[in-house]
Amino acid sequence: MPQTLDQLMQLPVPLPLMFGVAVLIALGVVAIIVILLRPRAPVTDPAAEQRITDLNARVQTMGELLARAQGQLQQTVHERLDAVSSRLGESMQNSTKHTTDHLQQLHARLAVIDNAQKNITDLAAQVTSLQSVLSNKQTRGAFGQGQLEAIIADVLPKGAYEFQYTLSNRTRPDCAIFMPDSGPLIIDAKFPLEAMTAVHGAESDEERKAAGQRVRQDIAKHISDIAGKYLIPGETQDIALMFIPSESVYADLHERFEDVVQRAHRARVMIVSPTLMVMAIQIIKQVRKDVEMREAAHQIRTEVGYIMKDVRLLGERVRKLQTHFGQANEDVVNILTSAGRIEKRATNIEELNFDDAGPATADIIAAPMTRKLGAAE
């Protein structure tokens, strides 16, 4: 039986013999590898070659179709991407424009709000200043006096009024308006505002009741002072005006304290606001104008008489001028008649037509005397 390789390896073999066997084995392995790697001769089958050719043609056609489809798909994708990019760009531009416009409008509105805030701040400062002014009795009197002076000076002419006018009892009202044919109309610009402020600042019913009682007392005292100081029989008007430099205070007084207003009317003291003061001054201005018109009525009648006399003289002169125009017109008509006759006779002379000349009724003018010429001449 053949021995195995291990057994053969275990046998004692000479070294040259072993080397030769190894070489032979290596050469055999190389030969086997060369045989395996050598290309085999193709099997010649016409039908298979035809199928392979058709398959290659189909593969090539399919490759071309796939290439065209890929090109079309790529072109369509590019076109869609361009359209989307264009619309996206336009949308972004419109969005940017709208955003910019909205931001500009927002900035403008913020600027308006800032100006309004500034105006509100200034108004609050003015209100605070006005409140500080009105809280002091002296400054409040100066404020009412200034407003009264502005109203009167804007409507009435100088000389029709006087501020701080001195009456016969040595009192000096804030303003006196001089009325025609009677005494001056007295106006007082001081008003007890502390009580009205207390009414607005009251928080409980008791405080409001106490503040209302104070309003009635203060205004009643002020009305009595005006009636006692400024209503002088035979010197001033029968009524006096108490000026309140605030429309809201005037409205509040009429709404809550109607009894005080009626008491002022009974005392012949009229409570007026700035609007009513303007109306009263306008009426006074019209009254003064009517009185001035009545005072100037005689002079107006005299001037109208002069005007009527001038009108009569003008009528006489126009009639005389009309007579002259009539005479001149008659003379022109006669001149035209004579000119027509002369023209007609000149025409007859030019045509040597003396038959239609008519009877010789006109005077014949003798020819001028001429002397004979001598021989020497």
C-beta separation of 267 from 242 below 8 A: no
**How far is the CA of 199 from the CAs of 14, 204, 290, in angstroms?**
143, 10, 44
171 domain-assigned: yes
Q: What one-letter code names the amino acid at 170?
A: R
- Lowest mean pLDDT segment, chosen from 47-61, 87-101, 221-235, 252-266: 47-61
C-beta separation of 236 from 186 below 8 A: yes
Mean pLDDT to the nearest integer, 46-53: 78
Which pair of tokens denotes residue 276? 């009513």
Per-residue model confidence as pLDDT tens digits over 208-264: 888 888 888 888 888 898 888 888 888 888 889 988 888 888 888 888 888 888 988
pLDDT of residue 183: 85
Residue 278 structural domain: 137-298
* pLDDT for 184 beyond 60: yes
155 domain-assigned: yes
DSSP SS3 for 11 = coil
59 domain-assigned: no
Residue of higher predicted confidence among 55 and 125: 55
**How far is the CA of 207 from the CAs of 194, 210, 232, in angstroms?**
14, 5, 38
pLDDT of residue 377: 45
Which pair of tokens denotes residue 328? 């001149």
C-beta separation of 252 from 196 below 8 A: yes
Q: How far is it, in rounded angstroms, from Cα 219 to Cα 256?
A: 13
Q: Is the full-model pTM beyond 0.75? A: no
226 domain-assigned: yes
282 domain-assigned: yes
DSSP annotation of 272? E
Q: How far is it, in rounded angstroms, from Cα 345 to Cα 298?
A: 71
* pLDDT for 75 beyond 80: yes
330 domain-assigned: no
pLDDT winner (highest mean) among 96-100, 160-164, 210-214, 292-296: 160-164
* pLDDT for 360 beyond 60: no
34 domain-assigned: no
5 domain-assigned: no
- Lowest mean pLDDT segment, chosen from 4-13, 72-81, 152-161, 197-206: 4-13
User: What is the number of domains present in the chain?
Assistant: 1
C-beta separation of 207 from 237 below 8 A: no
- Lowest mean pLDDT segment, chosen from 276-290, 318-332, 352-366: 352-366
Report the CATH number that the domain containing residue 144 is assigned in CATH.
3.40.1350
